[in-house]
Amino acid sequence: MSRIFAGMSGGVDSTVAAALLKDEGHEVVGVTLKLWDEASRCCNLEDIQDARQACFKLGIKHYVLNLKDDFKKSVVDYFIKSYINGMTPNPCVICNEEIKFKALIQKMKENNFDYAATGHYARIVKKNEKFLLKEARDKTKTQEYFLARIAPEEIKSIIFPLGDYKKSEVVKLAKNFGVYVEKPESQEVCFMRRNETPFEFIKRNSDISMIDKGAFYKSNGEKISAIKDSAYFNYTLGQRKGLGISAGRPVYVVKIDAENKRVVVGDKNEVFARRFTVSSLNMLVPQKKSGFYAKVKVRYKQKKAEAYIRKAGDRAEITFKEPQFAVTPGQLAVIYKADVVIGSGFIE
């Protein structure tokens, strides 16, 4: 049997993951990360207490790692900087890459444990002596998109016990193990207050001047109006609702010009793109050729679309077979072969 560090958030998924591993006879230790004092989920005081209680019920040890400083530098500062630079960040991806798995694996190695485990819905499969990151069985919950930045050399040290389960089955297991806790579904950004906008968060957590908030412009350069209740960095490519302007027809954000503090709006067809570049390539499955065909997602909920990828160092140019909606700078493009993640890069 193995010795396993299990990431525990206090929720049903991570608790069942730890319970399954213990039930298989492994030595399991629960680890909860303290990341942000005002967190709405994952790492606030209530969740830490829930994780501790779950570990008590399971009869396993529980530890808390304080990574608040690292989280502030790697995730929150990145979040703020990205928006101010006119990009749309993906903090969950960065947190998994820079904080959660890095911390779990480091502590795993320091304590001579064999694996790190979490309650993510994804699968790691060994094939021909290689470890592959794959979609989970539950396609409505699968989270491999957010895990595509894990370092290739670390995949062999990670376990996802829920990869072959559906969410409904996990809830039943939690009740059978006696650890079911009903909690609301989490919002996308854990460190923002509920219903808070990026503008409101940035205003609270940075010293950026809010004097010139920017303005809305048409694609032809004509000014529509000044931005009154937020700022240019509160918007994202493809956004239609919540613009607060009257254009006589539905309009979408087609560009964020951070340098000139402009939010450019236009027709829906202007938001589609066929070719774009990505940087910071993380190839989980190396390809023999610099150019190859695969499928790509540029958003978590998007369907995979056929594309041609041409690599050049740690960058790549991706060309979709059909134009895709809102290929957004700052977001992650994940490259697939069937249900296997072969790489990812950040959209420029």
Residues classed as catalytic: 95, 190
CA nearest 122: which of 162, 175, 87?
Answer: 162
Q: Which two tokens stand for residue 232?
A: 């240019």
Angstrom distances, CA of residue 299 to CA of 147, 149, 172, 197, 219? 13, 14, 30, 19, 24
Cβ–Cβ under 8 Å, residues 226 and 213:
yes
CA 27 to mean position of chain CA atoms? 29
**Helices and strands in the chain: count of H runs, count of E runs:** 8, 17
**Rounded Cα gap, residues 96 and 25, in angstroms:** 27
d(C-alpha 22, C-alpha 33), whole Å: 20
Residue 188: what are its φ and ψ, rounded to 5°? -70, -45
